[in-house]
Amino acid sequence: MQPTPYPELNNVLDELVSGIRQILGNNFIGAYLQGSFALGDFDEYSDVDFIVALEDELTSEQIHSLQALHSLIFQLESYWAQHLEGSYFPRSILREPITRSSKLWYLDNGSRYLIRSDHCNTILVRWIIREKGVVLAGPSPFSLVDPISTDMLRREISGEILMWGQYILDDPSRYANCFYQHYIVLNFARMLHDLHKGYPGSKREGAEWARLTLDPMWSDLIESTWKGRPKPEEKIRQPADPAAYDRTLQFVQYIMNQCRASTTR
């Protein structure tokens, strides 16, 4: 079976995984889709989130070769090739959630080069990989990730809401472009959904839940940000509408308050 319903994306993924396997040799365990393609709520504007499981840390030679591979993949004549995002997990780090402070080699959406980041090194990503991960190559992710409890998930999600929310409110100018204005609303809606439900949902699921569940005053903001998802590479260069961004900051504060209320019950 093909990993996604998009033949062009499947070709990109096949070229990516084939190249990675050739570079890593015996250090390669498996490659998996996570994010919206694992949760089953994707569309033609979704990022392609992946992880690669390794036997051990990447060597300097492997890193050099992977940098060249990702640059070549980025240049393919496909929208999907410019919207891959993922990390390389040594087996020991992937198995244990307590190692989540470790930085991994990470490819950001819209980038052609790996950097060191803890972006994917979260309990939430581990849950998605174990419970919903799409196998591109390798064994079942059940053999690579230990079970994750709902309490562990909720602790991480509430911490992320409060920490990232305060970070945004302390320096709002950092995110004052059209891309982040949409990104912030959809992610805070999704995080509150995940906190209440006790499992990770997609941005679409989180947006729909928030629109129907939260105070109706936020419905138009949520709907407009969902419609504004296409062409993120253009929107990140466009200043946010001041009124919309001000409401976005108010929404962040509202979600933080909802988070605090839910964790004190």
CATH number of the domain located at residue range(s) 7-143 in this protein: 3.30.460
What secondary structure does DSSP assign to 206-250, as a single string? Answer: HHHHHHHHS-GGGHHHHHHHHHT-S-HHHHTTSBPPHHHHHHHHH
Q: pLDDT digits over 9-57, tens only?
A: 999 999 999 999 999 999 999 999 999 999 988 888 788 999 999 999 9
Q: pLDDT digits over 230-239, tens only?
A: 666 677 778 9
pLDDT along the chain (265 residues), means of 10: 93 98 98 94 87 98 98 95 96 81 91 95 95 97 94 94 97 91 93 95 92 95 83 76 94 97 78
What is the residue extent of each domain of the chain?
7-143, 150-263
**Is the pTM of the predicted complex or chain greater than 0.85?**
yes
Answer whether 97's CB lies under 8 Å from 40's CB. Answer: no
